[in-house]
Structure 1
Amino acid sequence: MTSTRVARLPRDQRRSQLLDAAAEVFTTKGFHAAAMDDIAEIAGVSKPVLYQHFSSKLELYVDLVDQSCERLLSIIRAALSTTEVNRDRVVATMGGFYHFVNEQRADFRLVFESDLTSEPAVRDRLNRVNDDIAEAVAQVIAEDTELSHERAKLLAISLTGVAQVSARYWAAGSDEISLDEAIELVSRLVWRGIRGFPRTTPPHAPDSATQS
């Protein structure tokens, strides 16, 4: 009887390979139906090798959720920093959510369609990323409008809620509406609301003490 030797990889590369395999299995089967055997098979490793890196299926899943949440947060922070023109900033932020849903299907399902939200470790991470995104948006709103943090945060949660819910609806099969049109429609709706809170100072306004 011959055994197949698994090529040795640096630990970080092996973990990345295993996480990729787990993402494929979890997004195809869901957490509860997935098995460690399935993940090991997709990764081309033995189960003992898999358990050397992850002690349980839940640990694998939580690590994947962490990665997906970080990607989404990075996308939204980048969108907010692309411009200081607020209408363009709204379009970039809405577009960030829609592109995340459209292009990163595994991440989208882990963050927005998890079948494990009753698990505290997963629920806490999803709540945290939603709060982090809302905080990033609230900071921009507060700086522009001089609203209090709590008022800016309420607006930010409302804006991100629109983005998430509409992007999920669009991804579920709205074939009649293209990605670009969906972003434009929702951005127009959001902009018509948020422009009711005009910025109090123009971008890069000079310090009054330096003006002649």
Structure 2
Amino acid sequence: MTAIEQTEARPRGTRLPRRARRNQLLGAAQEVFVAQGYHAAAMDDIAERAGVSKPVLYQHFPGKLDLYLALLDQHCESLLQAVRTALASTTDNGQRVAATMDAYFAYVEDEGGAFRLVFESDLTNEPAVRDRVDKVSLDCAKAVSGVIAEDTDIPSDQAMLLAVGLCGMAQITARYWLGAGQKLPRDAAAKLVSALSWRGIAGFPMHSASGGGG
């Protein structure tokens, strides 16, 4: 059963403040885009899902691409903040790796399926979409590389390469885990991947003054 089938259409005619209406429309659009993909989704479907008329939908979003990009911005920012929060949650680098891996697994597990808009979009040939997806991947890697560079003697360009590898591993393994049916609990899956990651990154020498632990 799709997300569209699982959720009843909203009743029409309810007046909402502009921000609340916008959030409602974004929620409805997410359900439709995740279930149908960008190309198959129609503004009629989104309006119906939100329980509004098409003119109301167009008052907030001039077109389907505008709506998709607004959702993409929202969920790219959510991922970046999750990674930054994980990195800031501890000064122990082994725990940082574990928290960062879990942030990706939690993001992918979210029942709304938002990760599909970011990592599995059927609109990646659209430059505005590709730019946003590339940017959030790069920004997450920059956040990780900053920690690597601070705590080791690795040059910044090498730290960035390692960070791209760590983030790529987190994203791909989390998506595989979900697609394979979540045969391991999320915490166990994230710990398994973080153990692999930490065994690699821990091999690089720390600054003598650094307090990063294992």
- Tell me the TM-score normalised to structure 1 length: 0.91
The whole-number CA distance in structure 1 between the counterparts of 2:74 and 2:25 is 13
* Secondary structure class of the residue paired with 2:107: helix
Give unmatched runs, 5+ long, in structure 2. Answer: 1-10
Aligned AA (1:202):
S
Aligned AA (1:10):
P
User: Which of 188, 202, 205 is the aligned partner of 2:210?
Assistant: 202
Aligned to 1:122: 129
Aligned to 1:57: 64
Amino-acid identity (%): 56
- Which structure has the higher relative contact order (CA within 8 Å, separation 6+)? 2
Are the counterparts in 1 of residues 86 and 96 from structure 2 also a CA contact under 8 Å? yes
Matching of residue 152 in structure 1 with residue 159 in structure 2: yes
The whole-number CA distance in structure 2 between the counterparts of 1:68 and 1:144 is 30
The whole-number CA distance in structure 2 between the counterparts of 1:5 and 1:73 is 35
User: Which of 98, 102, 118 is the aligned partner of 2:109?
Assistant: 102
Post-superposition Cα deviations, 1:142-161, rounded to whole Å, max 9, x if no partner, equal 00003221111000001001
Structure 1 residues 139 and 104, CA gap change in structure 2 (3 angstroms) = farther
After TM superposition, list the pairs within 5 Å mapping 1:77-116 onto structure 2.
Answer: 77-116=84-123
Are the counterparts in 1 of residues 29 and 46 from structure 2 also a CA contact under 8 Å? yes
Matching of residue 180 in structure 1 with residue 180 in structure 2: no
* Secondary structure class of the residue paired with 2:108: helix
Aligned AA (1:164):
Q
**1:65 CA displacement:** 0.6
Aligned AA (1:31):
Y
The whole-number CA distance in structure 1 between the counterparts of 2:182 and 2:79 is 24
* Secondary structure class of the residue paired with 1:106: coil
Are the counterparts in 1 of residues 32 and 46 from structure 2 also a CA contact under 8 Å? yes
Aligned to 2:6: none
Please say which structure displays the higher CA radius of gyration: 1
The whole-number CA distance in structure 2 between the counterparts of 1:14 and 1:194 is 46
Post-superposition Cα deviations, 1:5-32, rounded to whole Å, max 9, x if no partner, equal 7222211111111000000000011111
Are the counterparts in 1 of residues 153 and 205 from structure 2 also a CA contact under 8 Å? no
The whole-number CA distance in structure 2 between the counterparts of 1:5 and 1:128 is 37
**1:184 CA displacement:** 1.3
Structure 1 residues 5 and 135, CA gap change in structure 2 (3 angstroms) = closer
Give unmatched runs, 5+ long, in structure 1. Answer: 205-212
Structure 1 residue ranges, 4+ long, deviating more than 3 angstroms after superposition: none
